[in-house]
Structure 1
């Protein structure tokens, strides 16, 4: 039996990297019976059946996992959004941040297509960058046209297992292609009629870039909070989480409760009013979903 890591999954086949070699493996039937699906990023044990093939026998416990995209054992998430084409959206960015925070992953925000924006658009985005940096997030305004930007990104990737996430068309694949041209990941043109990118990435794959592993993953424009409960949402907003212990009532949802430290911080402009509105919108969305029964 050998050990390795799944670096690619496609149509029930899993490429496992072990000691510098790639083995194409299938999962044993026991995984289907146990309703376990091997994921890219999994550390596995496999039986080698010939020089290039094998069967996965065991999956090691995961430190974390995402459903969309399906990947495990990540150390950080880079959320890519764009200044324009599509236009910068704080509510979409906050949705991604909540999902990443819920998995206790370190989020890094990349705002791409700086070279396509005019001065007014850049100034608007820079105001938001200040808001997110004050919260404690790392935010980088980048362009694939500027080599200095790519050097900064290379440092971020070093020794990490990174998942790239973001709305379709924001430039995830373009950034990866600029970092490692040999990838030749297909990039999609923005659909002018739909205002969003075509879904061009068809599978999840971990690739080696600058001493780290990076996943380029399918872009998508709709996100839900199926795995986040109402009482957990505040913990996914760092500026709310730090003030929550000062609320008068334990279990305060920072919505209708009196003497809420979070609402007071919004009034005092210590918390962004826009971010707080997004929190309330997400809270209502979670509270209105149908209950799950086991």
Structure 2
């Protein structure tokens, strides 16, 4: 039996890179996985056995540190949220929703804002002020113009996934990482255009500092992974000062002695962050039960 990591999933086959010799084996999952409702994900560390020279069977999936559902990738180290400053317009609401969902999976978010060159000075100042806040509370942030003239290698850590709306520059980001991506890695450029292939195809593309996950991206931005009691912990500046609240289980809404509301009032917490927290909490409280 051999240990390895799944680096590609396609049409019921899993391509596993052996930790012994870096060879890649085309594997199927044992039938008992399906009976138990377990699906192997790209990024999973597994134990497998070889049936012949190139084929094998996955016998065991090792414990995951996390797992995204849409796209299905396990053991993710960071998600780079790609937002545009213009065309489409920059949205703080969308930034906070992406960050919250990524935090809920215990994954590190990184914020990359593109198309800076399309803005005037006033618009640049507005976005920079907000990005400075995200950086101050602990997030890595980049604000750039021409993506293909940047060096993004240092942003890739372990398994890195891209998230963002269509048209924000994810393809240009890939081209900056892999200059010949369009020539030699057609799967990447196809994957980053919505609708080109199904969500069943996920692949890890090796880079110097880790892998970039070639996926169709985040297919939805719902809060199904969150309940009202965990939402507040996905706002890291709230979690940092929650023990200062008068009540231990404070939801930061109507309770007296709330350190979060005090932080908003004195300007230490960005007001839009608190507003978006309230909106997401309301979305969670009013969502319909799914059966």
> TM-score w.r.t. structure 2 length?
0.89
Distance 1:163 1:188, change over 3 A: closer
Q: 1:25 maps to which residue?
A: 27
Which one of the candidate residues 105, 110, 114 is aligned to 2:116? 114
Q: How far apart in 2 are the matches of 1:219 and 1:103?
A: 15
Q: 1:155 maps to which residue?
A: 154
Q: How far apart in 1 are the matches of 2:180 and 2:14?
A: 22
Q: How far apart in 1 are the matches of 2:220 and 2:161?
A: 18
- Which secondary structure state, in structure 2, belongs to the residue aligned with residue 205 of structure 1? strand
Asked whether the 8 Å contact 1:79–1:165 carries over to 2, the reply is: yes
Asked whether the 8 Å contact 1:243–1:261 carries over to 2, the reply is: yes
**Structure 1 residue ranges (4+ consecutive) displaced by more than 6 angstroms after TM superposition:** none
How far is the alpha carbon of 1:20 from its aligned partner? 2.0
Which one of the candidate residues 275, 278, 292 is aligned to 2:276? 278
Which one of the candidate residues 125, 130, 138 is aligned to 1:136? 138
Asked whether the 8 Å contact 1:172–1:216 carries over to 2, the reply is: no
Q: Deviations 1:82-104 (Å, cap 9, x if unpaired)?
A: 11222111111111111111122
- Which secondary structure state, in structure 1, belongs to the residue aligned with residue 268 of structure 2? coil
How far is the alpha carbon of 1:144 from its aligned partner? 4.4
Q: Deviations 1:167-199 (Å, cap 9, x if unpaired)?
A: 22222232112211333222699xxxxxxx744
> Relative to structure 2, which stretch is displaced further, 34-43 or 14-23?
14-23
Q: 2:236 maps to which residue?
A: 238
Asked whether the 8 Å contact 2:147–2:169 carries over to 1, the reply is: no
- Which secondary structure state, in structure 1, belongs to the residue aligned with residue 189 of structure 2? coil
Asked if residue 264 in structure 1 is aligned to residue 262 in structure 2, the reply is yes
Q: Deviations 1:184-223 (Å, cap 9, x if unpaired)?
A: 222699xxxxxxx744464321111123111132234741
> Relative to structure 2, which stretch is displaced further, 224-233 or 276-285?
224-233
Q: Structure 2 stretches of 5 or more lacking a match?
A: 183-187
Task: Number of aligned residue pairs: give it.
Answer: 282
- Which secondary structure state, in structure 1, belongs to the residue aligned with residue 180 of structure 2? helix
| RMSD between aligned residues | 2.1
Asked whether the 8 Å contact 2:82–2:163 carries over to 1, the reply is: yes
Q: 2:168 maps to which residue?
A: 170
Distance 1:229 1:55, change over 3 A: same
